[in-house]
Structure 1
Amino acid sequence: MLKFLLAAVWISAATLASVLYSFQMSQAAKDPNSAPAAFFGGLDYIRTPVISVPVATTGGVGGYFLARLAYTVEPKKLKALSVPAEMLLVDELHDYLYGNPQIDFSDRAALDLDAFREGIRDGINARVGDTLVHEVLIEQIDYLSKSEIRDNIIRRRINPTE
């Protein structure tokens, strides 16, 4: 009889503890001040088309920087924008690339992708005046020099069936 009474008390205590824990976790999830984790919901993403930016050198255009990026943004702030978000993001990418002429796209090993991402994100957030973009994700990034573009054009003319 004593074992049965101890088992009943144990089951009641375990049930009460799990109900209290569940209640606390549900209250923490409803707290508007707690931000959701960046990659686990709560954020939308905007994917840009392939962006082609001419890279100017002293003698003219040295090549083209090609990129396809995705941005994680808060949906409420995205809806509050008065300008289309894609236009803002592409414009800021152009501003960043032309504002940092020290970036050498021809040397792929020297390109610091983390600094590139942070620079674009910080530029957009400073321009908007709030934290709109949380992460900049790189889907594709390439640099084509003028000589590579010419070689591709010549190959297409020689072998038009391929």
Structure 2
Amino acid sequence: MLKLILTGVWVCAVTLGSVYYSMQSASAPVVSDAEATRRASEQYVPGEMITVPVIKGGAVQGYFLTKLSFSATKEGINNLRAPLRQMVTDELYDMLVGSRFIDVGDTGTFDLPTFKSTVKDGLNKKLGGEVITEVLVEQLEYLTKDDVKRVANGQNVPRQKPTAIVDKNGNVANDKLPEGGVSASSGH
């Protein structure tokens, strides 16, 4: 009987020791004071789905669908003259309609980091300061005019697989492309 009690005490001591050790070694990552201050001064701003016509040679060739979200400074947001989401959407249209840095017809030249930095710089220029700290890509898609017509008409034609937008390093900008073909979702 005494042996059984001592064995139980030993098992409890070993269990408590292992739990204590694992809690000590699995501590939260250390965040510097500067990083913590920066994070506390920023706010996540969800973006809206927008559809931008891709214009070449004076004609619409297709549609670039994107949903971008942003990390922005709280102070910068509070100093704006209009709501941030509406200002961002307006500036994205100004920047992207007819823009030369979006050539989705040639997916090998699309550079996602350059796209994100160009959007960030353009937005900050319009907002009058360093308001946007980071651009987060939630969705990037390209639909040709034929794709849009087929989806709008509800035709049951076998669909082509969508073309992933790949940057020059081979990274896929949107890795959640639908299996069966072009997405039927629409933007604003």
Taking structure 2 as the reference length, the TM-score comes to 0.59
Give the aligned partner of residue 16 of structure 1: none
1:113 maps to 2:129:
no
The CA RMSD measured in Å over matched residues stands at 2.4
What SS does structure 2 have at the residue aligned with 1:140?
A: strand
Separation of aligned partners in 1, 2:140 and 2:37: 26
**Structure 1 gaps, min length 5:** 1-27
What SS does structure 1 have at the residue aligned with 2:86?
A: helix
- Greater helix fraction, Structure 1 or Structure 2: 1
Separation of aligned partners in 1, 2:78 and 2:143: 36
Q: Residues 102, 128 of structure 1: CA spacing in aligned structure 2 closer, same or farther, 3 A cutoff?
A: closer
What SS does structure 2 have at the residue aligned with 1:90?
A: helix
| Aligned-residue offset at 1:136 | 0.3
Give the aligned partner of residue 60 of structure 1: 59
What SS does structure 2 have at the residue aligned with 1:141?
A: strand
Write the letter of the residue equivalent to 1:133: I
2:55 and 2:98 in contact (8 A); partners too? no
1:96 and 1:119 in contact (8 A); partners too? no
| Aligned-residue offset at 1:42 | 3.2
Give the aligned partner of residue 147 of structure 1: 146
1:95 maps to 2:94:
yes
Q: What are the superposed Cα offsets for residues 59-106 of structure 1, whole Å, 9 maximum, x if unpaired? A: 521111100010100112211211110111112211221363242122
Write the letter of the residue equivalent to 1:82: R
**Structure 2 gaps, min length 5:** 1-31, 158-188
1:89 and 1:124 in contact (8 A); partners too? yes
Separation of aligned partners in 2, 1:70 and 1:127: 17
Structure 1 segments, 4+ long, off by >6 Å, are none
Give the aligned partner of residue 18 of structure 1: none
Aligned residues: 126
